[in-house]
Amino acid sequence: MTFPVVGMVGGGQLARMTHEAGIPLGIRFKLLSDTPQDSAAQVVSDVVIGDYRDLDTLREFARGCDVITFDHEHVPTEHLRALEAEGIPVRPGPDALVHAQDKGVMRARLDAIGVPCPRHRIVSDPQDVAAFAAEGLPGGSGGSGGSDGSGGSEGSEGSEGDGFPVVLKTVRGGYDGKGVWVVNNVAEAEEPFRAGVPVLAEEKVDFVRELAANVVRSPHGQAVAYPVVESQQVNGVCDTVIAPAPGLDRALALKAEALALTIAKELDVVGHLAVELFQTPDGRILVNELAMRPHNSGHWSMDGAITSQFANHVRAVLDLPLGDPRPRAKWTVMVNVLGGDYPDMYSAYLHCMARDPQLKIHMYGKDVKPGRKVGHVNTYGDDLDDVLERARHAAGYLRGTITE
């Protein structure tokens, strides 16, 4: 194989930044994008506009690609199986990717390999949700899913002895908190069933913070682990990531890394795997969910690690030796830039760049809409408070929530 062509399905910012990482390596990109305006479609020269849900479109697109990878997990699993059966390398493969597509499949598999998860089960209707909630009460019949049941009783705020609140999730299609409900009673549990898709119930974990363990694995089994990061969400959307997670006990960090490496191996993941975790008050870690593609919790690595998650994803899907995931600075902070009231963020560059010449700005070329992820900033250094302040200031200034 000479310089290969990576086929990327999905034209969002993850595709854009993966393409960017492939440029210095001389890797060619072909993109399947919904529209020419999509973030990656603006910068990749070889773009096919088409629908990733259509098998013939995928087949046509795959012609001339050496490998297919993704910037989202929404390509129907059966289409990926069909492409694989026709000899097209799909990475990660459908048997791995289904665990990032379907939260029910993911929970069942993690249970089977002994990975600790919140107590959970598939529920059929609001009454079944009430039964699930009651199972988590002390003396209830809960305890499935690797949790020892203590999480259920800890997370009992707002409950009057009925086991609520409970977290409900549609098993497929959720992102950025969409498709996730925290319900406090049977009446509130009706909404998630309206779409007519299977619903997963989980105990509401009383976590102290969210962590992410990011690893990259190649087809021949080489794997690398990035330092475990803290990920802070605002309204269900990732806001800030701190690498490494401050104050994280070394043994727990190693446990989280080992857990992510085990999941990558057991599920035969190829490429980047993000394992989103809850850290509980009693020092346990529970797996929230999996993403098998570059992930928002790894954006810090573009400037903060020796090899970024994007470069390593490209290397992994091509079965090249992986790059060093270690950090370059003591602390790296990533803050997402969300759309605010001002459609033009360019005018904020003057202030941000003048104030902090070390600031790393990454914009995705997306139209500004309130709350939409349109970019992120990275900062790094020795003093965490300073690094955090600089990143938050720049992101806030670009968004328009900070004006001085």
Using the rule CB under 6 A, is 276 a contact of ligand ADP? Answer: yes
Which span sits near ligand ADP by CB under 6 A: 172-180, 189-197, 264-272, 303-311? 172-180
Binding mask 178-207 for ligand ADP (x = CB under 6 A): xxx---------------------xxxx--
Q: Distance (Å, rounded) from C-alpha 136 to C-alpha 172?
A: 24
Can you read off the two tokens belonging to residue 340? 């605010």
Q: How near is the Cβ of 202 to ligand ADP at its closest, in Å?
A: 4
Task: For residue 221, count other CB atoms closer than 10 A to its CB.
Answer: 10
Residue closer to ligand ADP by CB (options 79, 295) is 295
Can you read off the two tokens belonging to residue 278? 């809850």
3-class DSSP state of 204: coil
Q: Which of 36, 64, 158, 236 binds ligand ADP (CB under 6 A)?
A: 236
Which span sits near ligand ADP by CB under 6 A: 176-184, 265-273, 297-305, 334-342? 176-184
Binding mask 82-121 for ligand ADP (x = CB under 6 A): ------------------------------------x---
Using the rule CB under 6 A, is 172 a contact of ligand ADP? Answer: no
# binding residues, ligand ADP (CB under 6 A):
20
Q: How near is the Cβ of 69 to ligand ADP at its closest, in Å?
A: 20
Contacts of 103 (CB under 8 A, 6+ apart): 169, 171, 172, 174, 200, 289
Restricted to residues 121-160, the positions that interact with ligand ADP (CB under 6 A) are none
Using the rule CB under 6 A, is 289 a contact of ligand ADP? Answer: yes
β-pairing, 120-123 with 5-9? unpaired
For residue 85, give the amino acid letter.
A
Q: Which run of H or of E encompasses 238?
A: strand 237-243
Angle, CA of 330, 335 and 337, to the nearest 5°: 155
Using the rule CB under 6 A, is 175 a contact of ligand ADP? Answer: yes
Listed residue (27, 88, 391, 44) closest to 241, CA to CA = 391
Q: Distance (Å, rounded) from C-alpha 255 to C-alpha 182?
A: 29
Q: How far apart are the first and last CA of the chain?
A: 53
Q: How near is the Cβ of 237 to ligand ADP at its closest, in Å?
A: 9
Q: Which of 39, 218, 288, 336 binds ligand ADP (CB under 6 A)?
A: 288
Sites of contact with ligand ADP (CB under 6 A):
118, 167, 169, 174-180, 202-205, 210, 233, 236, 276, 288-289
